[in-house]
Structure 1
Amino acid sequence: MRLGYSAVTAGIIDVAQSFEVAARYGLDIELSSDMAEMFPRLPGPRELAEMGRAAGVGFTLHLPFVDLNLASLIEPSWRTSLGRMLRALEYGEAAGARVGVLHTGQVPLRHPVLLEMAFERLEQALAEMAAPPIPVAVENLAIDDQDLLRTPEELVRVVEEAGAGFGFTLDLPHAFVQGGSGQIKAYLEAMQASKAPLLHLHLHDNHGDWDAHLPVGAGSLPYADFSAALAGFEGTAALEVTGGEEGVRASLKAIETFWGACQSSS
């Protein structure tokens, strides 16, 4: 498993500092498409690629989700969301990102007609993204009443229908908020049994009540229970933890305790 961290979630906004932290602990950086859009003075993707090569730091990319909804029933909003997503994939390719993490979207009311239309919108968006320039790892959410996909089965169906180039992000703490350890196990088993690959993990912690993004080990998620199930995982992972560099360091120590040496040099 190749491990990285989200500098944005950690609150490390300075670009040079984010690279220093990554290099210090042998981590990749999970870039943020939203930050790249909101702060155009940040280094561009090709400059980031050069900085990464110089520092020995690789990248994953969190695709945009701020003010974005690939399941939107409002045509202009849907079109804008799709356009932003396609541009973000180009950004990820230019930066050399190993994978792009995707949020699927929301529906305002769980009315059968609206749900059917929202699924059609999402499936159309993923079809427009066919053969993406970097692998796309669709993330489990279901932590907000408006999140469209609510079950492992729905997530698997959507990703399998999207076809080549698509796989999964398992966000263990999201599943923990949704339904505790049993829900983590349900998502993990569904993803591992799917024709689509499990590509990426999001690692942070909470107490099962809300998506707190605590450092790993600072909440109640029983990471040790999933050591065996993820022992052979060869994809990427990102620490999405608060607390600055100390939160990253504490998370690495906890993961070492729970899972042993999990990071590869690949």
Structure 2
Amino acid sequence: MKLGFSPLTAGLNYRQSFELAAELGLFLEIAFDQHEMDPRLPKARELAEMGRAAGVGFTVHLPFVDWNLVSLVPEVRRLSLERTQRAIEFGAQIGAACGVLHTGLVPLRLPEAVNHAHQLAHQALEQLELAIPVALENLGLETTDLLETPSELRNLLEAHPQYGFCLDVGHALIQRGPTGPQEYHHLLGHRLLHLHLHDNRGIQDEHLPCGEGAVDWAWVRKLLENFGGTAALEVSGGEGGVRRSVALLRANS
């Protein structure tokens, strides 16, 4: 298993992030939204060179800010699809091991709207050209999220075998309770490519360092022992939050 962290969630700039990642043997999960918003950030080619110089690899979080791949508004949907495709290409240019994709929102919870949005999700997944492996992330945090149950995500993935699964243990805890991560893994462990690791108290998405909330980290560590993919820390708390989380995950390993 390869372990990394998100500079965005940790609140660290790239200089700090590369130094910490190189020291601890981690990769960086790059938030593509940041690169869209801030032209001062390095372009893909420069970022790839920074990674080579530091001996640090990457994963990429595909767009999620002001984004909705299943929007009922065609122009919003078209732009979201274009942004996602650009992000996949960005990930390929930096040599990302995988990309993480959200599944969209349906604020208008009328049955006809929800059913149409599910159809749009299938269309979008077929339209995207995958230059890197892409994993669909479990959400279920808000009433507006398209997918409301683990079985819905399983059904979507079964229809699109070219995609993998990203298990977000914090999201699963909030959505399904203390055994939520295990429930998702039971259904989709055979499709698991990537994990998002962070903690919370089971109420809201706090992105606490690992061990500071209610996630069952003994179960997570056992899962990681035989996992050959990637796992990214999405923890707050700056350098200290990353270090504490790494120490917990590597304990007795």
User: What is the CA–CA distance in structure 2 between the aligned matches of 1:160 and 1:4, rounded to whole Å?
Assistant: 28
Aligned partner of 1:39 in structure 2 is 38
Match of 1:157 among 155, 158, 164: 155
Choose the corresponding residue for 1:242, options 233, 236, 241: 236
Secondary structure of the corresponding residue to residue 253 of structure 1: helix
Q: Distance in 2 between matches of 1:69 and 1:237?
A: 25
CA-CA distance at 1:230 after TM superposition: 4.0
1:218 aligns with 2:207: no
**CA distance, structure 2, for counterparts of residue 64 and residue 229 of structure 1:** 28
SS of aligned partner of 2:232: strand
Matched residues, number = 253
CA distance in 2: counterparts of 1:229 and 1:189, whole angstroms? 11
Deviation string 1:68-116 (CA, Å, 9 cap, x unpaired) is 0011000100000000000111100001100000011010133211111
Deviation at 1:162, TM superposition (A): 2.1
Query: Given the superposition, is the C-alpha separation of residues 82 and 214 from structure 1 closer, same or farther in structure 2, using an over 3 Å criterion?
Result: same
- Segments of structure 2 that go 5 or more residues without pairing to the other structure are none
Residue 165 of structure 2 corresponds to which residue in structure 1? 168
Shift of 1:232: 1.3
Report the Cα distance in structure 2 between the residues aligned to 1:231 and 1:21, rounded to whole angstroms. 23
The letter of the residue matching 1:6 is: S
Q: CA deviation at 1:192?
A: 1.9
Tell me, what secondary structure is at the counterpart of 1:228? Answer: helix
AA matched with 1:99: C
CA–CA distance in 1 between the matches of 2:31 and 2:21?
A: 15
CA separation in 2, counterparts of 1:98 and 1:225? Answer: 24
| Equivalent in the alignment of 2:53 | 54
Q: For each residue in 1:5-24, what CA deviation from the matched residue of structure 2 results, as whole angstroms up to 9, or x when unmatched?
A: 00010000x22121111111
| 1:127 has 2:148 as partner | no
Partner of 1:264: none
TM-score normalized with structure 2 length: 0.97
Cα distance in 1 between the residues matched to 2:53 and 2:146:
41
Unpaired stretches in structure 1, ≥5 consecutive residues: 262-266
In the TM superposition, what is the alpha-carbon distance from 1:145 to its structure 2 partner? 1.0
Q: For residues 185-217 of structure 1, give each alpha carbon's deviation from its aligned partner in whole angstroms, at most 9, with x where no partner exists.
A: 110011125xxx210000010000100000001
Aligned residue runs from structure 1 range 16-35, under 5 A: 16-35=15-34
1:98-135 CA-partner distances (Å, limit 9, x unpaired): 000001101013321111100111111111014x0000
1:177-188 equivalence runs, <5 A? 177-188=174-185
Q: Percent identity?
A: 51
CA distance in 2, matches of 1:163, 1:191: 12
User: Residue 6 in 1 paired to residue 13 in 2?
Assistant: no
Provide the secondary structure at the position in 1 that maps to 2:104: coil
Structure-2 separation of matches of 1:242 and 1:143: 19
Shift of 1:228: 3.4
Distance in structure 2 (CA, Å) of the matches to 1:170 and 1:235? 12
Report if aligned partners of 2:221, 2:249 keep a CA contact under 8 Å in 1. Answer: no
Correspondence for 2:192 among 189, 192, 198: 198
Q: What is the deviation of 1:46?
A: 1.1
